Amino acid sequence: MWSSIQRRLATSSAADITRTVPFWLIFIASALGGMTNSASTPIIPIYVEETLGGGSELSGTIIALAAVASMIAMPIAGMLGDKKGYRTIALFGSALAVAAMLIFALVPTLWGASIGRIMFGLGNAAAMTLIMAWLIAMAAPAQRGKALSIYGLSVWIGLALGPQLSAAINDATGPQTVFLVCAGLEIVTVAVILMLPRPVLPPVTQSITLPHSGVRSAWAAFRAVWVPGVVAAAAWCGEGLMLGFLIVHLGGVGVAASGLLGAASVFGVFAVSVIGARMVLASLPDRIGPRRAAALSLVALTAGLTTLGLAQDFWVASGGAVLIGVGFSPLYPSLTMLATRDLRTRNRALGLGMFSSFTSIGYGGGALIGGFVIAIANSMWAFLLVAALQVVALAVLAIFTHDDSPRQRAEETDEQRDPAA
């Protein structure tokens, strides 16, 4: 049965991949993975306090474990996917994520939460990495930009829906039911992956060996990406703080977790702002240059995080979320352009991998900062501290980068597109 379905999917019209069933199956799988992450992460501080009897510093540490695990999983999953097949590794990753959510729900202990979070980071990152690679393998080179741009909306849809689902279920039955529902979402992801047609990959004719110049190439790649990487780490520190502690922060000033005007709805405002701003600002890095576009993004992030830190109600928090959404809109494309302009063909993939790892570092760092600052002060200071990090990142950007002409940059980096653009 599955083979006949896959044959029909594989023979879908090749004229435009975004009009085929396989594309939308990949889109759904990505959205489900994003929902699982954005539903399970904000509930961890509540789970730690109510079930484990811990505080915010423990919550931040547990949240950060997934980011550390994902940094390890992404390159390994890609390497194994090339050798063993995308379906095998993606299914294994999703199955690992299912097991992680079940451990959270059924083993309410510190070691269970720690192991579950590590397993989720490994599994979810592996599955999402292979799903992205699957899309790239299926799309013709001329269609990849459009396909990745539309595909990227799945990330923000998942981010918008997950916290709402989590808050509603937690209000009704408690955090452990949230993890059971997340396990169900991952099971649906497994079913979607099983329906995908097998991608056609070039045969591997020889083993990959590290050239003698590998160390020099790696050092050159690091030198090319460290500045945009540091900026990315600071920015994604804000996203990690939001996802882990925004509901807790707004709950402390009397904003309900769920409901139309609840704290979880702020994530929806943020996601819609990113999507809307990207439709308007997509060409900004090409028009004014990536350095200037990134600088404007950091200013918006600083204002947004400060507004969130000082917010006392839903409306002010939503205003901060809009500013952050607008800030994130051109940031990743701008930083990617800065990261890739000094890379060469021999180290481009390595450099992009290094650059991507900075976002995971920032995501985990935001959770850790939130946990430990809240433990000694309050959540307002956590947001203000991360806002200050954006100012530091702006200084790093101004001191250590230069701008090329927008026209030259557009020609050189046309192949580099933000997966969440």
Mean pLDDT by 10 residues, the chain (421 residues): 50 67 93 94 92 91 91 78 83 96 95 96 89 79 70 84 92 94 97 86 48 67 86 94 92 90 92 86 81 94 97 96 92 81 65 75 90 90 96 94 56 42 38
Contact 417, 144 (CB under 8 A): yes
Angle, helix 263-281 to helix 144-173, in steps of 10 degrees = 170
Rounded to two decimals, what is the model's pTM?
A: 0.76
Q: Who contacts 377 (Cβ-Cβ below 8 Å, separation ≥6)?
A: none
Measured CA to CA in angstroms, residue 407 lies from 70, 241, 334 at distances of 35, 36, 14
DSSP 197: P
pLDDT value of residue 269: 94
pLDDT value of residue 409: 45
pLDDT value of residue 278: 79
pLDDT tens digits for range 292-335: 999 999 999 999 999 999 999 999 999 999 999 999 888 887 88
Long-range pairs for 299-304: beta carbons < 8 A, 24 or more residues apart = 299/327, 299/390, 299/394, 300/324, 300/326, 300/327, 301/235, 301/238, 301/327, 301/328, 301/331, 301/387, 301/390, 302/387, 302/388, 302/390, 302/391, 302/394, 304/238
Q: Around Cβ 3, how many Cβ atoms within 10 Å?
A: 9
Q: Who contacts 199 (Cβ-Cβ below 8 Å, separation ≥6)?
A: 86, 134, 137, 138
Distance CA 213, CA 103 (A): 44
Residue located via tokens 């509930």:
43
Domains of the chain: 1-5+17-199 (1.20.1250.20), 214-412 (1.20.1250.20)
pLDDT value of residue 290: 87
pLDDT value of residue 11: 46
Q: Who contacts 194 (Cβ-Cβ below 8 Å, separation ≥6)?
A: 2, 87, 91
Q: Is 51 exposed, middle or buried (0-12, 13-18, 19+ CB in 10 A)?
A: middle
pLDDT tens digits for range 182-240: 999 999 999 999 998 876 655 544 444 444 456 777 787 788 889 999 999 999 999 99
